[in-house]
Amino acid sequence: MLIKNLLDIMKIKYFNYLILSSILFLSCNTSRDLKEVKKSKDPIVIDGFYNESAWNDAEWHDINNLWLGKPFTKDDFEGRYKLTWDDEALYLLVEIKDDVLVNKFSNPLERWWDEDCVEIFIDEDNSGGDHQFNHNAFAYHVDLEGNVVDIIAKDTPKLFNDHVISERVTLDNTSYWEFKILLFNDSFTYNNLDARVKPVANKKIGFALAYCDNDTSEHRENFVGSVFVEGPDRDRGWKDAGIFETIVLTE
């Protein structure tokens, strides 16, 4: 009888362990939420005016998670975005309400993170993992003039203006950015476009978005992302694709 009771207790504990493990597994994967991105029926013209029908059909998503800096108010910053795609590229529309735009470095490869810029994170095959000094994923910093910066090795920033094409229209304190984002797999090497991948239906892509906001300071004052990142080091999208969300391309 004693042995039977012990076996029953062990079974109960093992059952509870399986339940707890399942809960923890699901909670650890909530940062990679799935968002559906509808295909555009009409060509997207990159002009900053977002007057294509695809933008009317797409859903707005907020950029409201503080990754770096002090808490901000909507008077200082407010952001949101939409996505669509076609057989050539992924398209992004970003609306930024920012009372001050800072573009203080003539050299786009100098301290680009301390200027106002949009940062687009792309993991073409949604594999996650490290991409600090490789092209397992990309972290495209797009400045106010449309220059696109990512790093290819330690202390080695490069322009990737042939990967992301953009136009910005600013009215009062609101900027509208349209982006055409070409996709590249992790075999990419700099200045070699052979690794380009065309979007297709049902394709899953790792994606995140952030905004560097600087008003009057020597360094950026806030860094605000589209996804919630756990832990004290929330600014790790530039090296860790595991924090990205998953988007899936649909017809």
Query: pTM, whole model, 2 decimals?
Result: 0.86
pLDDT single digits (tens) 183-203: 999 999 997 778 999 999 999
The confidence score (pLDDT) of residue 75 equals 85
Q: Looking at the structure, do residues 23 and 50 belong to the same domain, yes or no? A: no
Based on C-alpha coordinates, what's the Rg of the chain? 21
Residues whose CB is less than 8 angstroms from the CB of residue 21 and which lie 6 or more positions away in sequence, other chains included: none
Q: What is the CATH number of the domain that holds 83?
A: 2.60.40.1190
Nearest to 103 by CA among 88, 95, 92, 114: 114
| Residue 32: pLDDT band with limits 50, 70, 90 | low
Mean pLDDT of 104-108: 92
The confidence score (pLDDT) of residue 104 equals 86
Please tell me whether residue 139 adopts helix, strand or coil conformation: strand
Amino acid, res. 206: G
Q: Dihedral of CA 192/241/62/110: which sign?
A: negative
Q: Looking at the structure, do residues 122 and 162 belong to the same domain, yes or no? A: yes
Domain residues for the domain of 230 are 33-250
Q: Looking at the structure, do residues 55 and 179 belong to the same domain, yes or no? A: yes
What DSSP designation does 193 have?
Answer: G
Question: What DSSP string runs through 6-19?
Answer: HHHHHHHHHHHHHH
Q: Looking at the structure, do residues 41 and 23 belong to the same domain, yes or no? A: no
Phi, psi of 201 (to 5 degrees): -60, 145
Could you give the percent of the chain with pLDDT greater than 90?
75
Q: Per-residue pLDDT for 97 more than 70?
A: yes
The confidence score (pLDDT) of residue 225 equals 97
pLDDT single digits (tens) 52-62: 999 999 999 99
Q: How far is CA 7 from CA 3, 14, 20, 147, in A?
A: 6, 10, 20, 66
How many domains is the chain built from? 2
Across the chain, what does the average pLDDT equal?
Answer: 88
Q: Per-residue pLDDT for 176 more than 90?
A: yes
Q: Looking at the structure, do residues 199 and 83 belong to the same domain, yes or no? A: yes
Q: Looking at the structure, do residues 147 and 59 belong to the same domain, yes or no? A: yes
